[in-house]
Amino acid sequence: MSKAPDKDELTGIDTTGHDWDGITELDNPLPRWWLYMFYASIVIAILGWIWYPSWPIWVGEWTYSKGIAGFSKRAEVTAELQRVAEGREVYYQQIREQPLEAVINDPQLLRISMAGGAAAFGDNCAACHGSGAQGFVGFPNLNDDAWLWGGTLSDIYQTLQHGIRWEADYETRLSVMQGYLADQILTRNEVSDVVDYVLSFHDQAEDEAAVARGQVTFEQICSACHGADAKGMKELGAPNLTDAIWLYGGDRATIYETVANGRAGVMPAWAGRLDDATIKQLAIYVHSLGGGQDEAN
Amino acid sequence: MAGAAGTPLPPQPNKAAPLYQKRIKIYPKRVSGLFRNVKWVVMLITLGIYYITPWLRWDRGPSAPDQAVLLDLPNRRFYIFFIEIWPQEIYYLTGLLILSALALFLVTSLFGRVWCGYACPQTVWTDLFIWVERLVQGDRNKRMRLDKAPWRLEKIAKKSITHGIWLVISVATGGAWVFYFADAPTLLSDLLQGDAPMAAYIAIAALSFTTYSLGGLMREQVCTYMCPWPRIQGAMFDADTYLVSYKADRGEPRGPHKQGESWEGRGDCIDCKACVTVCPVGIDIRDGPQLECIQCALCVDACNEIMDRVDRPRGLIDYETLAMPQARAEGRETRPKLLRGRTIIYGLSILLTMAIMAYGLLTRSDLDLSVQQDRNPLYVLLSDGGVRNGYQLKIINKAHEERNFIIAIKGLDGYELSRPNHQGPVDVVSVGPDAQKTIRLYVALPKEGLNASRFRDGEAQIRIMLRQEDDQASGDLGDSARPVLASQNIGFRTPPQR
Ligand code: SF4
Ligand code: SF4
């Protein structure tokens, strides 16, 4: 509630006229230094407008008063990023020059590689392999210990550099899992028998006779790439058919589909698209996800 | 208060209040007496603590600094004698602040603004600066005369000596501050040689400026206009709080008194204004309790001196509660009521806070382990049909020597550990002195282990345990072994529908 300013009876000081349930506010004068500081802050604000960019201005399009100091936050950020990149370059140079084994044995380079690899993975790889590298149907999970083309540091590095079935790169990893039914190499029954034989590795085959027939076909055709023991061959990117990991699925229908129509997953070659230091960092990062194999194996 | 029974002022023409008020300069007069002496002692002790503390040494072994009180910001450690605080233990500091606040509340509800009057840095430094001023320029009357005098050599000399000494004290104050944040002897020699970090010079400059301006120039303006504490304190006084008060019932009617005159029919106050001239905030305590009064009790000393001289009993101005004059008027006895609802609550809160902090400090472990389970992916199916989970372990070794720990998992049988890019035994982790280490730990469980009854809805509850490597007593770390530290329960996940 506001009343007309009045004089307070006890103190003889004017009130502001503001009254809350009988409590009134005294209009005491400010201390002089306080008032002068208030004026000074107004002056400083105006100097700030002149010194720094501040007011939006319309000159046919929106711009702003630039300020006489030539200050720009954007330029500051750019310079800052530039400084960071320059500081990083020292280490990136070392990563480029040194073999992968040496990089992971240098604690500082390893730390940088893990951080850089994680960031580059999120930017480039996560679209297909998932942000946790957990993979999707047709895109392998990079956390597990099954590798089509090998899981050592140098295997992973090579895959990253040249990709898989990436035509633009003549060193790309190449292999063919053709469609044996589609290409009329096998009949429906023969395909079905081979599927039975593959399922028998997992104790899921139902028909003993079919398994026996499938085995004959497998040894004639499939073993060329997948090996006589069906454990795969990393030189050919041929998966181990006896383990628990399936890229497309391990049920009868999916395996039938795979044998009948073939599979040909593609991964881009990253050499030339990414800095070699970044590719090495990615190799180190992926190798550390839990399934990385030692060079000796 | 003064006008509680006052007559309404006659109506006056309503002039607009002035926008600002010129500051009335205060020239506190010298006084001696009990409370002045207490203030000298408190000043010596507080300034002594402030200037000397950073130079005290405290042996913590070779891997930690030997400064008794050190707030090591770059390395994020606070050392306070036997206490060492890590960033995540900053709640000890919170506890200390809560304790200080409660102690302040308790003292204030018992004896009013004791903090303001005796111990507040603003009061202590202002007191020191007034002492310097008096030393150079003389007491109240001489200072008033000097200020009125034209600017001649004597005035210029006295003023510049005063300000010079103030500046020296200010720089010493700002200088002492930075020693709390770095090794004092090293920093001192760096400061003198000009190689100390820029931040140190800036801090010294800033603190010198505030000490000089607040203690030398602003003084009572800080207490009256800037500090929130005087406003809050009103809520802590009650009728039984001891405040510096003028006994109006004994002093009035006041008036000059000639030696030999009778004291009949008049009050004891001889209106000499000694209480006003000594007051560092320039108020008249006879007007009743006032916001500006910092309760330094110098007016008590001043009036006692006068009472001695006119041969009346001391204590016309004294520590008194609001209930006392009322009791006197009614002819009742008054006894101090120190135990009241609010003081008991404040006191108990202090004890409780102290107990909690003491418990925390006494049971503080020098080892800490926190475990985070990977969320993406939650689990990894392995080629042999087994499952692997990933964890991030953060091990904090607060001891001043390197320690080796053996990691084991409680709640899984036949697990296998692995760590990326790690050389040496997979289950041994060494953490440096006074350091923390983060490791990634993969725990794989083969297919056979997955059918154990421990799994509910595809998840088992496990604990990650640490044992010190040289500790042979606990033997093999199985479920029964005694670890030095076990993590909280954490999940081990397997694919659904197993
Ligand atoms: S010092 Fe004591 S006697 Fe003198 S004016 Fe103050 S209250 Fe009165
Ligand atoms: S009135 Fe008395 S107690 Fe209050 S500030 Fe002045 S001298 Fe100190």
Nearest to A30 among B6, B19, B376 (CB): B19
CA distance to A104, A284, B78, per residue, from A107 (Å): 7, 13, 29
Same domain, B228 and B371: no
Give me the mean pLDDT over the B148-162 stretch.
Answer: 91
Domain final residue, candidates B201, B218, B233 = B233
Domain endpoint, select from B217, B233, B249: B233
Q: Provide, as residue numbers in chain B, all residues whose Cβ is less than 8 Å from the Cβ of A292.
A: 420
Closest approach of B441 to chain A, Cα-based (Å): 9
- Residue type for B298, please? L
Which of A11, A110, A244 lies at the smallest CB-CB distance from B384? A244
Helix (H), strand (E), coil (C) string for chain B: CCCCCCCCCCCCCCCCCCCEECCCCCCCCCCCCHHHHHHHHHHHHHHHHHHHHHHCECCCCCCCCCECEEEECCCCEEEECCEEECHHHCHHHHHHHHHHHHHHHHHHHHHCCHHHHHHCHHHHHHHHHHHHHHHHHCCHHHHHHHHHCCCCHHHHHHHHHHHHHHHHHHHHHHHHHHHHHCCHHHHHHHHHHCCCCHHHHHHHHHHHHHHHHHHHHHCHHHHHHHCCHHHHHCCCCCCCCCEEEECHHHHCCCCCCCCCCCCCCCCCCCCCCHHHHHCCCCCCHHHCCCCCCCCCCHHHHHHHHHHHHHCCCCCCEEEECCHHHHHHHCCCCCCCCCCCHHHHHHHHHHHHHHHHHHHHHHCCCCEEEEEEECCCCCCEECCCCCEEEEEEEEEEECCCCCEEEEEEEECCCCCEEECCCCCCCCCEEEECCCEEEEEEEEEEECHHHHHCCCCECCEEEEEEEEEECCCCCCCCCCCCCCCCEECCCEEEECCCCC
Could B420 and A14 be called an inter-chain contact, meaning their C-beta atoms sit closer than 8 Å?
no
Does residue B229 sit in the same domain as residue B80? yes
Q: What is the mean pLDDT of residues A260-283?
A: 95
Looking at the CA of B275, name the nearest ligand. 1
d(CA B139, nearest CA chain A) in Å: 26
- Give B-chain residues touching A6 at CB under 8 angstroms: 14
Q: Does pLDDT of B469 surpass 80? A: no
Q: Please report whether residue B243 resides in a domain.
A: no
Q: Above 80 in pLDDT, residue A5? A: no
Nearest CA to ligand 1 atom 7: B269
Of the three residues B233, B250, B265, the one that is the final residue of a domain is: B233
Phi and psi (nearest 5°) for B196?
A: -75, 155
Local structure of A162: helix, strand or coil:
helix
Distance from the Cα of residue B171 to its chain's centroid: 22
pLDDT-derived band of residue B169, with 50, 70 and 90 as boundaries?
A: very high
Nearest to B280 by CA among B111, B129, B109, B119: B129
Domains of chain B: total: 2
Q: How many CB atoms lie within 10 A of CB B498?
A: 10
Give tens-digit pLDDT for B321-342.
988 888 888 888 888 888 888 9
H or E stretch covering A124: none
Question: Does B313 map to a domain?
Answer: no
Indicate the pTM of the whole model.
Answer: 0.74
- CATH 1.10.760.10, applies to A75-171+267-288: yes
Query: What mean pLDDT do residues A24-38 have?
Result: 86
**Closest residue of chain B to A289, computed from CA coordinates:** B420
The answer to whether residues B67 and B52 touch, using CB atoms and an 8 Å cutoff, is no
**Residues for chain A: how many in total?**
297
Cα distance between residue A36 and residue A30, in whole Å: 10
| Residues of chain A neighbouring B390 (CB-CB closer than 8 A) | 143, 290
On whether residue B324 sits in a domain, the answer given is: no
Which residue of A13, A100, A144, A297 to mutate against B (max B Cβ within 10 Å)?
Answer: A144
pLDDT in tens, B81-124: 888 888 888 888 899 999 999 999 999 999 999 999 999 999 99
Task: Please check the confidence at residue B17 and state whether its pLDDT lies above 90.
Answer: no
pLDDT tens digits for B281-323?
999 999 888 888 999 999 999 999 999 998 899 999 999 998 8
Here the CATH number for the domain that contains residue B427 is 2.60.40.10
The class (CATH top level) of A188-261 is mainly alpha
Is the predicted pLDDT of residue B435 greater than 60, yes or no? yes
B151-161: burial string, b at 16+ Cβ within 10 Å, e else: eeeebeebbee
Average the pLDDT over B233-240 and give the result. Answer: 85
Q: Taking 60 as the threshold, does the pLDDT of residue B34 lie above it?
A: yes
> What is the Cα–Cα distance from A66 to B47, expressed in whole angstroms?
50
Q: Residue B371 carries which side chain, given as an amino acid letter?
A: V
B385 closest CB neighbour out of A32, A34, A244: A244
Asked if residue A18 belongs to a known ligand binding site, the reply is no
Work out the pLDDT band at B156, boundaries 50, 70, 90: very high
B445 occurs within a structural domain = yes
Of these ranges, A236-245, B229-238, B401-410, B445-454, the one predicted with the greatest mean pLDDT is A236-245
3-state helix, strand, coil in chain A (%, to 5): 45, 10, 40
The ipTM of this complex is 0.82
Query: Distance between CA B381 and CA A290 in Å, rounded?
Result: 11
Rounded Cα distance, A71 and A184, in Å: 72
Number of H helices, E strands in chain A: 11, 5
Token couple for A177: 């899992």
Integer CA distances (angstroms), B213 to B26, B121, B278, in order: 16, 13, 22
**Domain contains B432:** yes
The chain B residue lying nearest A103, using CA atoms, is: B421
Distance CA B268, CA B310 (A): 9
Asked whether the predicted pLDDT for residue B3 surpasses 70, the reply is: no
* Chain B residues with CB-CB distance to A141 below 8 A: 377, 380-381
Whether A141 sits inside 8 A of B6 (CB atoms) is no
Residue ranges of chain A whose CB lies within 8 Å of a chain B CB: 5-7, 9-14, 27-35, 104, 110, 130-134, 141, 143-146, 240, 243-245, 284, 287-292
Q: State the nearest Cα–Cα gap between B22 and chain A, in angstroms.
A: 6
Residue B473 has pLDDT above 60, yes or no: no
Q: Is B317 in the pocket of ligand 1 (CB under 6 A)?
A: yes
Distance from B282 to chain A by nearest Cα, in Å?
A: 15
Mean pLDDT is lowest, of A262-276, B38-52, B82-96, B377-391, for B82-96
CB–CB contact B420 A290 (8 Å): yes
Ligand in closest contact with the CA of B244: 2
Residue range of the domain that includes B489: 367-493
Contact at 8 Å (CB) between A207 and A194? no
Say which residue the tokens 């720094």 belong to. Answer: A52
Q: Is residue B401 part of a domain?
A: yes
- Nearest residue of B to residue A146, measured between CA atoms: B383
| pLDDT reading at B163 higher than 80 | yes
In this structure, is residue B220 part of a structural domain?
yes
Q: Are strands B243-246 and B317-320 parallel, antiparallel or unpaired?
A: antiparallel
- Region(s) of chain A under CATH 1.10.760.10: 75-171+267-288, 188-261
- CA–CA–CA angle B322, B324, B328 (5° rounding): 140
Contact B22 A12 (CB under 8 A): no
Q: Does the N-terminal peptide bond of residue B377 adopt cis geometry, omega within 30 degrees of 0?
A: yes
Rounded to an integer, the average pLDDT of A252-267 is 95
A37 is in an annotated binding site: no
- Band (pLDDT 50/70/90 cuts) for residue B15 is low
Give the confidence band of A2 by pLDDT, cuts at 50, 70, 90.
low
Q: Does B12 touch chain A (CB under 8 A)?
A: yes
CA–CA distance, B436 with B76 (Å, rounded to integer): 12
Res. B230 pLDDT band, cuts 50 70 90? confident
Please indicate if any CB of chain A lies within 8 Å of the CB of B382.
yes
B353 found inside a domain: no
